[in-house]
A and B are shown apart, each in its own frame.
Chain A
Amino acid sequence: MSYFHRHRELTPYLLLAPGVLFLAVFFVVPLGFLAYQSLESGNIDFGYAFTWSWSNYWHALRDYRAQFVRSLEYAGIATLLALLISYPVAYWIAFRGGRWKNLLLLFIVAPFFVTYLIRTLAWETILSDNGFVVNTLQSLHVLGPSGRLLATSTAVVTGITYNFLPFMALPLYVSLEQIDGRLIEAAEDLYASKLHAFLRVTLPLSLPGVVAGTLLTFIPAAGDFINAQLLGGPDNHMIGNVIQSKFLELTDYPAAAAMSFILMAAILVAVFVYARLVGTEQLTGTAV
């Protein structure tokens, strides 16, 4: 008999081992190091020393509350926009795509063959002061004659929405595509209107996709700094920009580490509240 048959109870752990090891080395250890660093004090000239310096956290919260709030706000709006834009698209591909499904999905993913930076820079051109978007909005009097989109919060949120759209669209598609069409037929046979069938059958069954999509969009969006850097003005900088400048420009590693932890905590709290609101089974439901 083989080793595996004699130690059957060990098999799951052996199979898990590579993944666990990977996470331990490349996630837990660096995270531990970051936590350690966030409680250090000192500066680049004289070195850093571990001093249980909790003040890094209080100072970050005191001085950069605006940027923390702004990050969650921008990420939240962008997530909502991405959901509103992606849902009809994913719905249409899943139920009406027919044999073009794969090609249509490829169109959603296609921009991702281009680097993040270049995609964001493309929006600089699209939203340019003399571009057609601004000109159109100006002729519709949405923007004043000297109004602009670049270097405003609108541009930053637009950029984030665009850059994270596929993270929303793909999980939505997967959950919509799995819905058994006969269930909707059954609802209609039982005299549900189209709208009713959608609200009572399709939407609830697609919720796991909605939850997965919002999380995949919101979490990275809250830590983003490229969009704010390139498309925003000085008033639109997010916490990612501050962490980046603390880490690289100011070499204030403890402050940057503390801010990263605060951001992580804020996101965890937001996700927890969200999970309580929609129900935790939706989180795990995606795996099915």
Chain B
Amino acid sequence: MTDQLTRRELLQRGAAGGAALTIPGLLAACGGTSKAGAGSTTSHKLAKTLNFSNWTLYMDVNSKKHTNPSLIQFQKKYGVHVDYVEDINDNAGFFGKIQGALSRGQSIHRDIIVLTDNDRYLALMIKKGWCEKLDKSAIPNIKNLVDVQKHPNFDPNRDYSLPWQSGMTGIAYNDTLTDPVLSIDELFGNPKLKGKITCLNSMGDALTLVMLSNGDDPSKVTDKSFNAAFNRVKKAADSKQIRQFTGNDYAPILARGDLSAAMSWSGDIAQLGQKQIHWNVPKDGGALWTDNMLIPNGGNVYTASVYMNYVYDPKVQGLMEAGDPKRNITGIYYIPPVAGAGEWARKYDPTVANNPLIFPNKKMLDSVHIFDSKALNNQKYLEQWQNLISS
């Protein structure tokens, strides 16, 4: 299907004629017909280097040597050097960077990239056929994937993606400025908070919380539930209850005391580490988001799969997550998707293993929900949302 489209595109662009105008267009269409055969080998031979693009602060670090112990250990074990780059800051920006090459059928020279399921691009990459199928024969440890992650609706059998880490979306508040803010009703409704709260600009996160508060199911979005949630956010924005829509730039404003409360990501608050700021899953429920590893077209499937298998070993994952204070290793401190990682984490650093923001208890996990990935790619919803947050 992708092939047909690009071929048609080539004809159309060719037919459009004209001089300089169409040259980039033609160039763009030319690469499109072949599905980047180059690196996509199915052979079971490890490459020399694994090119891995990830988000910042998302790997275990030896704070003295500034190295990533789990990557060094991987190299020792398999002889594959990991070229680890922290060049992903937001899903939209990163997708914007890679989509040109991928749509022309070119390789982006990455074997693993990491995208979030609370944004549209993860599902889009899979739908457009821009990523390779995992080599599951090389990933026996996939059995350790936690149950809640086994069948997401963007990739029901986990053929293309595996979770890297998860986090939760809830409400943070500053106890020196307000009484506890534990629900969307309060966040959007308490007149004392007018102009002192922010809402996340990520549609999936914001609407999950609001839909749960409305009594709707965020994993199966309907026009009715979308409109109800949308109108509720709009009302709060129009009445100036909401001061700004933010990405994680709410964190410094919250830390400074300009905000009393904010819709917020658990990881940011754990990193702020200020004792007057508290984070909770709202009483009607919160959102669970997961960053997923993908192999973009042209990536080395076998080598990437072997790496995925490696991080799905609970022993490895436990160290990555908790770090090891004795060896100056700082962990990732998000929520690992690997069953059994908690027991290993306990051996390295019990305080991390006991932190509910990193190893949430069952009650917490039962109250967080994953947003409908179809709704994330609904152009009509997206447009309405974008127009709301920048009116």
Contacts and interface: CB of A to CB of B under 8 A. Distances in A.
A33 interface: yes
Interface string A36-54: 1000000111111110000
Contacts of A247: 96
Given A130-B257, A248-B96, A234 B5 contact: no
Interface stretch (B48-56, B157-165, B236-244): B236-244
Contacts of A222: none
Given A128-B258, A248-B93, A237 B390 contact: yes
A224 interface: no
Interface string A15-41: 000000000000011101101100000
B340 interface: no
B93 A28 contact: no
B12 A234 contact: no
B179 interface: no
A67 B88 CA distance: 29
B148 interface: no
Interface stretch (A145-153, A168-176, A186-194, A204-212): A145-153
A244 to B, nearest CB: 9
Contacts, number: 101
Question: Which bucket holds chain B's interface residue count?
Answer: 35 or more
Contacts of A43: 379
Nearest to A239: B390
Nearest to A48: B9
A50 B13 contact: yes
Interface in B17-38: 20-25
Nearest to A148: B195
Contacts of A129: 257-258
A46 B5 contact: yes
Contact of B127 (A45, A151, A252): A45
Contact of A130 (B8, B22, B25, B256): B256
A252 B379 CA distance: 9
Contacts of B98: none
Interface residues of A, number: 44
B300 to A, nearest CB: 26
B101 interface: no
Contacts of B93: 248
B386 A150 contact: no
Interface in B98-114: 99, 103
Contacts of A241: 390
A280 B388 CA distance: 42
Given A35-B21, A250-B383, A151 B16 contact: no
B24 A249 contact: no
B183 interface: no
Contacts of A29: 20, 23-24
B82 interface: no
A125 interface: yes
Given A129-B258, A130-B257, A249 B92 contact: yes
A33 B387 CA distance: 26
B244 A233 contact: yes
Interface string B242-264: 11110001001100111000000
Contact of B92 (A49, A130, A248): A248
Interface in B363-391: 377, 379, 382-383, 386-391
23 contacts: A29-B23, A30-B24, A44-B128, A47-B5, A47-B6, A47-B103, A49-B8, A50-B13, A66-B391, A128-B257, A128-B258, A148-B258, A234-B244, A234-B389, A234-B391, A237-B390, A237-B391, A246-B386, A247-B96, A248-B92, A248-B93, A250-B382, A251-B99
Closest 6 CB pairs of A and B: A237-B390, A248-B92, A33-B24, A129-B258, A32-B21, A241-B390
Interface of B: 5-6, 8-9, 12-13, 16, 20-25, 92-93, 95-96, 99, 103, 124, 127-128, 195, 237, 240, 242-245, 249, 252-253, 256-258, 377, 379, 382-383, 386-391
